[in-house]
C-alpha cells in the first residue's frame, strides 16, 4: 500500500478551497444540511442555498417546528427534492430522539431518514472529529486510480470503506484531513474526464499513471437525459406547486400545457407517492 496520507495532508493544507462547512465553528447541523445539499449538486449552487437555509432554520428543532411544505419550497431549484423532505424528517427525528442535537454515533446517524454510509460518517468525522472512512464518488475515483490502476471506479460497495480506512492515519485529526483531502483531490485535480496529473500530490505513486493510463472501462450506471424525461415533468409540477403555495392548484391546471399528458400524470402520481405533494378535493398541494 503506497503512502498516500503524507502527500495528501501536505497538499490539502496548501490547496484546500475555503468552503463554509470547513470552518471550525460551522457545527454539526450545518454540516449535515450541507451534506444533504451536496449530493449530486455542484458546490457553487449549494453555497447560497445553504446560507439561506441555515439563516431560516439554524437548528434541527427550528426546521422541525415548521411545515414540510416550507422545506420543499426553500429547497427551490436544487434538484432531487426528496432530499428536502428527508432532511425535514431527519430534523424531526433529531428533535424527538436526540433532544435537538445532531448525534455523533454513526449508527444513530444511520437511523435518521435519508442518511446513508457517506453522510453518517461525514458528520461523525467533520463535525465531531472521530476517525471513520468517508467515501464519496471523488474518493472512489482517487482510490481506483492510485491503488487499483483503474481509469474509473466501480459501482459503490461496502469494500470502499475498507479501502479508504487502509490509507487513513491512526491520528483522528490527520485521518479527517486525509478524508477531506481525498475528496478534494478527486473534485479539483483527479477529475473524471480531464485529470491534472501534473498537479497531483500522489502522482509519483499512482498505479494508473505508472501503468500508462490504461482505459479500463466504466461500468457505472449512467443517468438518463433530463430533457423530456419524467424527472423534468416532476420538476415542472413541483415548481408550480412551490410558486402557488400555500394555495393548492386544481388538477386540470397542473402544468396544463405539458405536451405529454401520460407523462404529466406519472409525474403527479410519483410526487404524491414520494410525499412531495398531496391530493384532495381535485386539487394538488405541497405536503402539510
Of the candidates 14, 25, 35, 51, the residue annotated as catalytic is 35
Instruction: List the CATH code of the domain at 1-15+131-222.
Output: 1.10.1670.10
Active site residue 35: yes
Q: What is the 3-state secondary structure (H, E, C) of the chain?
A: CCCCHHHHHHHHHHHCCCCHHHCCCCCHHHHHHHHHHHCCCCHHHHHHHHHHHHHHCCCHHHHHCCCHHHHHHHHCCCCCCHHHHHHHHHHHHHHHHHCCCCCCCHHHHHCCCCCCHHHHHHHHHHCCCCCCCCCCHHHHHHHHHHCCCCCCCCCCCCHHHHHHHCCCCCCHHHHHHHHHHHHHHHHHCCCCCCCCHHHCCCHHHCHHHHCCCCCCCCCCCCCCCCCCCHHHHHHHHHHHHHHHCCCCEEHHHCCCCCCCHHHHHHHHHHHHHCCCCEEECCEEECCC
pLDDT band at 11 (very low <50, low <70, confident <90, very high): very high
Burial 120-145 (b: 16+ CB within 10 A, else e): bbbbbbbbbebbbbbbbbbbbbbbbb
CATH 3.40.50.620 fits 28-126, yes or no: no
The answer, yes or no, to whether residue 89 has pLDDT greater than 80, is yes
As a whole number, mean pLDDT of residues 76-84 equals 90
pLDDT score, position 219: 74
Whole-number pLDDT of residue 271? 93
Q: What is the pLDDT of residue 104?
A: 97
pLDDT at 276 over 70: yes
Domain ranges of the chain: 1-15+131-222, 28-126, 230-281
Distance CA 82, CA 203 (A): 39
Mean pLDDT of 228-242: 91
Buried b / exposed e over 160-195, threshold 16 CB at 10 Å, is bbebbeebbbeeeebbbbbbbbbbbbbbebbeeeeb
pLDDT tens profile 162-190: 999 999 999 999 999 999 999 999 999 99
Q: pLDDT tens-digit profile of 92-137?
A: 999 999 999 999 999 999 999 999 999 999 999 999 999 999 999 9
Give the full edge-to-edge strand order of the sheet including 283-285.
249-250, 283-285, 278-280
Please give the grid coordinates belonging to residue 101. 442535537
The pLDDT, as a whole number, for residue 1 is 74
Q: Encode pLDDT of 194-227 as tens digits.
A: 999 999 999 999 999 999 999 998 876 676 787 8
Strand partners, 279: 284
Cell numbers representing residue 17 in the block = 478551497
Amino acid at each position: 500500500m503506497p503512502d498516500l496520507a503524507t502527500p495528501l495532508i501536505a497538499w490539502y493544507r496548501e490547496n484546500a478551497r475555503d468552503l463554509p462547512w470547513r470552518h471550525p465553528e460551522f457545527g454539526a447541523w450545518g454540516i449535515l444540511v450541507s451534506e444533504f445539499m451536496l449530493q449530486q449538486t455542484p458546490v457553487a449552487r449549494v453555497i447560497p442555498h445553504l446560507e439561506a437555509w441555515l439563516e431560516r432554520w439554524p437548528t434541527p428543532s427550528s426546521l422541525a417546528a415548521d411545515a414540510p411544505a416550507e422545506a420543499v419550497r426553500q429547497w427551490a431549484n436544487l434538484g432531487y427534492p426528496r432530499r428536502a423532505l428527508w432532511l425535514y424528517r431527519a430534523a424531526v427525528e433529531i428533535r424527538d430522539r436526540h433532544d435537538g442535537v445532531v448525534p455523533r454515533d454513526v449508527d444513530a446517524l444511520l437511523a435518521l431518514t435519508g442518511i446513508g454510509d457517506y453522510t453518517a460518517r461525514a458528520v461523525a468525522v467533520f463535525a465531531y472529529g472521530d476517525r471513520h472512512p468517508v467515501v464519496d464518488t471523488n474518493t472512489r475515483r482517487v482510490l481506483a486510480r492510485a491503488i487499483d490502476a483503474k481509469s474509473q471506479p466501480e459501482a459503490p460497495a461496502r469494500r470502499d470503506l475498507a479501502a479508504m480506512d487502509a490509507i487513513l492515519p491512526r491520528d483522528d485529526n490527520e485521518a479527517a484531513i486525509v478524508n477531506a483531502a481525498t475528496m478534494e483531490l478527486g473534485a479539483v485535480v483527479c477529475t473524471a474526464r480531464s485529470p491534472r496529473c501534473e498537479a497531483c500530490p500522489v502522482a509519483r505513486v499512482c498505479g494508473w499513471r505508472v501503468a500508462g493510463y490504461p482505459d479500463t472501462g466504466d461500468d457505472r450506471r449512467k443517468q438518463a437525459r433530463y430533457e423530456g424525461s419524467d424527472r423534468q415533468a416532476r420538476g415542472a409540477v413541483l415548481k408550480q406547486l412551490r410558486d402557488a403555495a400555500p394555495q393548492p392548484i386544481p388538477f386540470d391546471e397542473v402544468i396544463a400545457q405539458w405536451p405529454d399528458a401520460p407523462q404529466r400524470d406519472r409525474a403527479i402520481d410519483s410526487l404524491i407517492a414520494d410525499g412531495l405533494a398531496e391530493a384532495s378535493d381535485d386539487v394538488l398541494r405541497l405536503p402539510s
